[in-house]
Amino acid sequence: MAVTSVTAPPRLSADETDAWFGVLNAQATLVRAVDAELLAAHRLSCSSHEVLYRLAHADEGHLSIGELGAAVVISPSRVSRVVDGMTALGLVERVACDTDARVSHVVITDTGRAALPEIDETFQRAVREHFLDRLTPTQVRQLAAIMRRLGTPVACAV
C-alpha cells in the first residue's frame, strides 16, 4: 500500500495574521461600541436594532423566528432571547402561525414602528462615529468590495 504524504498548508504571514485577527477584533470592538450607545439610549442591542429594522421592512411586518435567525447572523436561540426582550418592551410580539403550529412569527408593533426612527438615528450616529468617520470614502468602498468578494452579505440597507 502506498503512503501518501500530506503537506501542511503554508503558515500565515504577519500581514495575513494581522488581517485575520484585525477583522475579528474590529468587529467585536465596533459591536461593543454601538451596543453601548443603543443600550444607553434605548435599552436595546445591535441585534435588537437589526431585528426591529428587518421586521419593519419585511412583507406584512413579520418574519418567523427561523427567517430572523437566517437574516441576523446570530443563533436561533439568541434570536429568541432578543425577541423576548423586545416583547417585554412592547416593540414586537409573537404570533402563532395559522398554518403550522410549530412556527411562531414575530410582528413589529405600532410601538416598535414609532420607536424605530429614534433607535435608527442612534444606530446611524454610532456606526458613523465608531466606524465610518475613521475611514476615507475610498476605504469604505474598498472594504465593501472586500466584503462582497468574501461573500459577506452587504445588501441590507440600513
Q: Does 3 fall in a domain?
A: no
Quick check: 137 pLDDT over 50? yes
User: What totals of helices (H) and strands (E) does the chain contain, helices first?
Assistant: 6, 3
Q: Which three cell numbers stand for residue 111?
A: 410601538
| Structural domain span for residue 47 | 42-126
Q: Does 88 fall in a domain?
A: yes
Q: Does 82 fall in a domain?
A: yes
Q: Does 16 fall in a domain?
A: no
pLDDT tens digits, one per residue of 54-109: 999 998 878 988 888 888 878 778 888 999 999 999 999 999 888 877 888 999 99
User: What pLDDT was estimated at residue 2?
Assistant: 64
- If one counts the domains in the chain, the total is 1
Amino acid at 89: L
User: What pLDDT was estimated at residue 157?
Assistant: 46
Q: Distance (Å, rounded) from C-alpha 6 to C-alpha 121?
A: 54
